[in-house]
Amino acid sequence: MKKFLKVTAVVMVFAMLACFAACGADDKGAEKGTLVMATNAAFPPYEYKEGDAFVGIDIEIAQAIADKLDMTLEIKDVEFGSIIGGVQTGKFDMGIAGMTVTDERLKSVNFSTSYATGIQVVIVASGSDIKSLDDLKGDGSMKFGVQQDTTGDIYASDTAENGGYGEDNVIRYKTGADAVQALKAGKVQAVIIDNEPAKAFVEANEGLEILDAEWAREDYAIAIAKENTELLEKVNNALAELKDEGKLAEIINKYIPAK
Ligand code: GLN
C-alpha cells in the first residue's frame, strides 16, 4: 500500500511538471497580443492579394512592427472609407493603407511618423486630348474617376477655388481598379490616384498613360486611435528602428525597385 502511494505521488509530480511545461508554454502563447490592422487590399504595391495571401509594402511593414512588439498581426480587409472610423472606435488597432496624412483625418485619429511619400497623378487614355494638368477642366466637359474617400476623391471633388473640379464632375468608385475600368470604357476621361497604384494599373491595362506631372504630393502614415498614445509611441519607435536598420528601405525597394 505504501509503495502504491509512493508511485502515485511520483506520477503526480511528473504530471504536474509536464503540465507546468505545457501549460506554461500555452500561457505564453495566449499572452502574445494581437495587433489588428485594417487595410484595403486593392492598392498595389502597398496592399493587394496574391491568391489568398495579403502582400505589399504596408503588409510587410505592419508585420515587421508586430514582430518588434512581439505581437501577432491580424489583417482586416475593409473598404478604404471605413478604416478611420474603425480605428477611432477601437475595432482596429491601426490603419495601414497607403493612407495620406490630412488635417481633416487628424481631427479623428493620430498618425505615426510618415514612412513613404505618395504623389497623386492623373491617368488618361493613350492619345487623349488631355496632355497636361492645364487640360483638366471642371466645366462639365469631362468626368474624373476616383476611389471613394481617398484624397484623390476629396481634392478633385472640391470647388474650383480650392483646386478641385466640383463634385458633379467626379464619379466615385469602390476601388482604383474600378475607376480604371471606367476610364477604359470611356465613362470618365481621367483618373486621379496615387502614383504607385497608377503605375501598376497602367501596366496591367493596355491603352492608358500617366500624365508627366504631380497633381499633389503627400505623406503616408499609420492611423492610430487618439487615446492609444501608448501604441502610437511603440509604432513610432518600431518605425524608427526599421528605418535605422535599413529594413524599411529594403521592403520598399522590394516592391518599388529603384531605377
Ligand atoms: N493615399 C490616398 C488616401 O489616403 C489613397 C489611399 C488608398 O486608396 N488606399 O486617401
Query: What are 72-129's pLDDT values in tens digits?
Result: 999 999 999 999 999 999 999 999 999 999 999 999 999 999 999 999 999 999 999 9
Answer whether 214's CB lies under 8 Å from 117's CB. Answer: no
CATH label, 119-217, candidates 3.40.630.10, 3.40.50.620, 3.40.190.10, 3.30.413.10: 3.40.190.10
Helices (H) and strands (E) in the chain, counts: 9, 13
Reference 58, options 259, 257, 258, 248; nearest CA is: 248
Span 150-159, average pLDDT: 96
CATH fold match for the domains 34-115+221-255 and 119-217: yes
pLDDT by residue (tens digit) across 174-222? Answer: 999 999 999 999 999 999 999 999 999 999 999 999 999 999 999 999 9
Supply the pTM of this predicted model: 0.86
CATH topology of domain 34-115+221-255: D-Maltodextrin-Binding Protein; domain 2 (3.40.190)
CA–CA distance from 181 to each of 25, 79, 242 (Å)?
51, 18, 37
Amino acid at 73: L
Which cell numbers hold the place of 42? 486593392
Q: Which of 194, 214, 215, 218 to mutate to test the pocket of ligand 1 (most atoms within 8 A of CB)?
A: 194
Does ligand 1 have an atom closer than 6 angstroms to the CB of 42?
Answer: no
Does ligand 1 have an atom closer than 6 angstroms to the CB of 97?
Answer: yes
Instruction: Give residue limits of the domains in the chain.
Output: 34-115+221-255, 119-217
- Residue 14 predicted with pLDDT over 90: no
